Amino acid sequence: MKLLSLKIEKADTCGGLLDGLFISFRDEGADCGIFDPICLVGPNGTGKSQLLQVIAEIFQTVFRKYLLEEEHGTPNDELLFEIKYLINSGAESDVATPVRIYRRKEGKRKPVIVVEAYLQEKWKLIEDPLHVADLLPSKVIGYTSGDNETLSLPFFSSRAGYAGQVRNSAQDERKRSKRIRDPRLLLIDYGTNLEVLVANLLLSSEEVGLKLLETPNLKSLRSFRCIVQLKHSAAPTGGVKLTQELEDYINYLKCCATCYGHIEKSGIWIFDFFVNSATHEAFKHYWKDGALELYSCFHKLAMLNDLIIPKAARDKFEKGVKNRRFASRLPEPIDEQKVFRFEQVEFVSNKSGKSVDYVSLSDGEHQLAQLLGFACMASFPNVLFLLDEPESHFNPAWRVRFIKMLRDLPTNNGARAVRSLAAKQECLLTTHSPFVPSDMKRENVLIFSKSTNAVTLEIRQPRIQTYGSTFDAILDECFDISPPISSLPRDEIENLIRSGSLEDIKSAMGRIGDSVEKIFLADRMRELNSKSAH
């Protein structure tokens, strides 16, 4: 899948900043067979995250209309747009079909969603839901490294809708055995760290596991505990009810666990796993489709945590979604109240062979394992990744290597991401750093900025070739930061050049780091030396 263009007539976000916006992502001859992400770069408040939100909302709206059993939550029915993209027609096919989806205001009629495909050299209206399903992204995966409400909310709405459907189906005997389809919208945030990592280390290839544990210098997953708690003072009356599918997951965990316990009165299941070859074989037996299926199991159980959120908070959130007012999000239950959680996750250290607790790893190590882990699991065509500042917790050395790490990633089909099925995906990512754009050609970089009156959004490609450019050049082009040093030393150097004495400059030279500005200061010192000599 590759995005071609997006026109937003009305977005109802950002105070209208995105209304009337047109973005050309690629031309129609784009190669769908390569991993070719697009980077949105620019200062805070220029609409980058909001653009990702709108794209997620567009597909949530289309999913809700055509794939009723695959999408949940409340879509944005006020959104007016036109989006064009290429979609791969099959896992083994290199043929890409152009697709156009739009919802426009036409007179007094209520806007409707229209799906068209370019077939036999003309745009053809597609109305059959089964055909439409093949023309849509297989997954829309959002990522946020913090509490970014902008991008998260369409996904939170979908998650809450899923939990509500589980609640309703579990209470209806006629629906209880019917499997609820996995939502196509998936959010990766800090709360899904362990779901991603544990699923990969149990069911992905050995090469994937080694890659995910390489940076923190860990050897393997040693042990972990899962707790499922169906009755609690915060739970609905009578406790959380499960569909047959979720009850089956509980039974599978019992069969895979090294040992387990059940406290019937409080509805608590405790599953302990000491990971060895038998553990891997047991999980492979019950989750035959691999790591993504196991992650889906963990994530579906975790989505039930929404059911113990007080009804008043859930109603307030739903009202906010319907009114497109996103001042708040669903509150996060404390661990002791959650329906599903991990505890006591330990690894084996490569260095010492001793156990290492997961919580002792840094936020950056959590973030890196999560991002790379999900990319490994979702290595199938037509996935749309929307990544909001994915490298925000990384140190500079990791940021420099981030895109290379994605491209070199081993996937579960044994290939590298750049040449595998993962190459038939789309990835949009935002950043505030110069490191990511330096890994991308200028055609794949979009600079966001506001006009001087802060009313109009301006989007353009860089005037320089970003691929291989120095970070200084990219900071100058994308953020108008020149010279690329902090304000305090820059102001001091300017003052010294303008009015500093020879002795003042000599004193400052020893405590100011190397930069172009320091060279100018040295020139001024030589000039003053020359004058004093005469």
- What integer pLDDT is reported at residue 266 of this predicted model? 83
Domains annotated for the chain, with CATH where assigned, are 2-136+379-479 (3.40.50), 184-360 (no CATH), 487-533 (no CATH)
The CA-based angle 447-448-453, given to 5 degrees, is 135
- What integer pLDDT is reported at residue 418 of this predicted model? 47
CA distances from 520 to 119, 203, 474, 524 (A): 62, 58, 22, 6
- What integer pLDDT is reported at residue 276 of this predicted model? 95
192 secondary structure, DSSP code: G
- What integer pLDDT is reported at residue 513 of this predicted model? 87
- What integer pLDDT is reported at residue 323 of this predicted model? 62
**Are 229 and 237 within 8 A, CB to CB?**
no
Q: pLDDT below 50 — which residues of the chain?
A: 327, 418-421
The CA-based angle 443-445-447, given to 5 degrees, is 125
- What integer pLDDT is reported at residue 414 of this predicted model? 53
CA distance linking residue 515 with residue 490, whole number of Å: 10
**DSSP three-state, residue 357:** strand
Per this entry, what is the length of the chain? Answer: 534
pTM: 0.86
Longest CA–CA separation in the chain, Å: 101
Q: Locate 239 and state its tokens.
A: 């406790």
Q: What does the pLDDT look like over 72-108, one tens digit per residue?
A: 667 788 889 999 999 987 655 567 899 999 998 877 7
- What integer pLDDT is reported at residue 211 of this predicted model? 87
- What integer pLDDT is reported at residue 183 of this predicted model? 83
- What integer pLDDT is reported at residue 349 of this predicted model? 92
**Are 286 and 256 within 8 A, CB to CB?**
yes
Q: What does the pLDDT look like over 369-404, one tens digit per residue?
A: 888 888 888 878 889 999 998 888 888 888 888 888
- What integer pLDDT is reported at residue 322 of this predicted model? 63
